[in-house]
Chain A
Amino acid sequence: MLYIKCPWCGERDETEYHYGGEAHIVRPENPDELTDAEWAEYVFMRTNTKGVHRERWVHSDGCRRWFNVARNTVTNEIVSVYKTGEKPDLPEAVTTKPAPAKKAAAKKAPVKKKEGA
């Protein structure tokens, strides 16, 4: 079970919240001009990050407000919680720092990125 710190109510159990998927996917401003492929990108394609993932949560059994969380999808460590409309940079250390138990997995992530063509 995750413990998530709502920006308004403080730390609560995961069961008080609902997950809202990947954050910062912006609805296209020019819908009539979009190709089918661009619509597919907006509606269906997801980053599915192994590592620090920015995602939306709603405190449905609390203040019922939406906010964003940056969470490591391998260790479940929550590295940042911030309000809708914000997008703070994550400290470099957070995205590359190997988590104690999962050293190998966390370390490899950036290497893979570089090698991808």
Chain B
Amino acid sequence: MSRFSIFSLARNAMSWHQNWPRQWRSPDPKPEYDVVIIGAGGHGLATAYYLAKEHGITNVAVIEKGWLGGGNTGRNTTIVRSNYLWDESGLFYENAMKLWENLSQELNYNVMFSQRGVLNLAHNLGDVRESIRRVNANNLNGIDAEWLNAEQVKEFCPIINISKDSRYPVMGATLQRRGGTARHDAVAWGYARGADDMGVDVIQNCEVQGLMIDNGTVKGVRTSLGDIKAKKVAMACAGHTSVVADMAGIRLPIESHPLQALVSEPMKPVIDCVVMSNAVHVYVSQSDKGELVMGAGIDAYVGYSQRGSLHVIEDQLGSAMELFPLFSRTRMMRSWGGIVDTCPDASPIVGKTPVKNLYVNAGWGTGGFKATPGAGWCYAHTIAKDEPHDLNAAFSIDRFITGALVDEHGAAGVAH
């Protein structure tokens, strides 16, 4: 792997940047692997990377039906934060945050992680109480969090409208200064390049269509490019998890929904932080190109269409307009949708399944981008050791039977 540095940049400038080598191979699948990961989104690729790096397991394939990073990884609004309420989630997401803080160096790939601060607005008394409670819980877990009143919010983000007369007045906000955004594609590419360098095969345009199961143990996958044997198989296929789990006869508490986002035409810098509001389903940041990046809420119905209804976007833009009257003449350039895998308690599932050597990482719903490094790290541990790490032990399928749910609707809502 040729490393990126100021010297390699200068050297390649001499030849007009036309001689950079390919960043990863496009290998044909081998007949057998130690681990097959289904889905080359950020989670699948990070898992492969940490399997190789932390556990020395390099005979690994990541199988992707489309192109790598083409699922939710390349469709999200890239908000990263770790201010979740319960100890289980707080510590899990904070571990991811620490990995984010060193990720560009770790991967020798610029993931453009920008800790610009994330505001979560409170619009009513219930929100205020919930937010302050969460700030306190975060502080007890060593996660940075502050409570700002309306004037302080205005100071932190001057273009916000804090008028008391608005339909959803801003009564304050939580602030996580270490939160921010990252370049989503670069995360997938960086992990793919790193994993490939350690010997992992990333196989694109190859759909998993069945699982080989013998006596309650998974033996491999049936794909559009033929059968591939595997000692262990790990799902990381987000919106399609139920479809793949069904191939093993496993039922999950997951439902897939369309979730939409959109970007505006590029404009001068107007907002240098991330603003989210669970109550009115708006989240906004501005990309380095100057586009406003905004996310909407999910469509209520189950859907695999990667597109949502227009009225969802109308609602969201109406709320955005009230919060930021300045945006009223902004034209929107593109909108798109992803298929998000939602869980009833707004927490993920990372762990073992009833089928031996088959693992699941899913249920990230509207907010799994921020977890990418941490999820990959814990999932790799779970696969390598055949038991979960302390950090993801609470996120088992069993919790829906025991009742030990990790209810993060307050911290997660729909806005992530």
Q: A residues bordering B, Cβ < 8 Å?
A: 1-2, 14-15, 18-19, 21-22, 36-37, 39-41, 43-50, 53, 55, 71, 73-76, 105, 108, 111-113, 115-117
On whether the beta carbons of A55 and B301 are closer than 8 Å, the reply is yes
Besides A15-B311, A44-B344, A74-B304, 11 new A-B residue pairs in contact (Cβ under 8 A), listed by A number = A1-B310, A2-B301, A18-B300, A19-B301, A47-B242, A48-B242, A50-B304, A53-B302, A75-B305, A116-B210, A117-B249
* Closest CB pairs A-B (n = 9): A115-B210, A117-B213, A44-B253, A48-B242, A116-B247, A19-B300, A40-B401, A45-B251, A44-B400
Smallest CB separation, A3 vs chain B (Å): 11
Smallest CB separation, B47 vs chain A (Å): 23
Chain A residue numbers with a CB within 8 Å of B209 are 108, 111-112, 115
Within 8 A of A (CB), among B303-327: 303-305, 309-311
Most buried by A among B209, B243, B248: B243
Smallest CB separation, B258 vs chain A (Å): 10
Q: Mark B207-248, 1 if CB is under 8 A from A, else 0.
A: 101111110000000100000000000000000101100111
Contacting residue for B253 out of A46, A49, A112, CB 8 A: A46
Main secondary structure of the interface of B (DSSP, over half): mixed
Main secondary structure of the interface of A (DSSP, over half): mixed
The verdict on A45 contacting B252 (CB below 8 Å), with A1-B309, A19-B300, A112-B210 known, is yes
Bound Cα distance A105, B222 (Å)? 17
Bound Cα distance A45, B210 (Å)? 21
Q: B residues bordering A, Cβ < 8 Å?
A: 207, 209-214, 222, 240, 242-243, 246-249, 251-256, 300-305, 309-311, 344, 400-403
Smallest CB separation, B133 vs chain A (Å): 26
Smallest CB separation, A49 vs chain B (Å): 7
Chain A residue numbers with a CB within 8 Å of B214 are 117
Smallest CB separation, A14 vs chain B (Å): 6
Chain B residue numbers with a CB within 8 Å of A46 are 242, 251-255
On whether the beta carbons of A117 and B212 are closer than 8 Å, the reply is yes
Bound Cα distance A21, B344 (Å)? 12
Contacting residue for B249 out of A1, A14, A22, A116, CB 8 A: A116
Smallest CB separation, B257 vs chain A (Å): 10
Contacting residue for B303 out of A37, A44, A73, A115, CB 8 A: A73
Bound Cα distance A1, B303 (Å)? 12
Smallest CB separation, A109 vs chain B (Å): 8
On whether the beta carbons of B305 and A74 are closer than 8 Å, the reply is yes
The verdict on A73 contacting B211 (CB below 8 Å), with A50-B243, A117-B247 known, is no
21 A-B pairs whose Cβ atoms sit less than 8 Å apart in the complex:
A21-B255, A36-B402, A36-B403, A40-B400, A40-B401, A44-B253, A45-B251, A45-B252, A46-B253, A47-B242, A48-B254, A48-B256, A48-B302, A50-B256, A73-B302, A74-B305, A112-B243, A112-B247, A115-B222, A117-B247, A117-B248
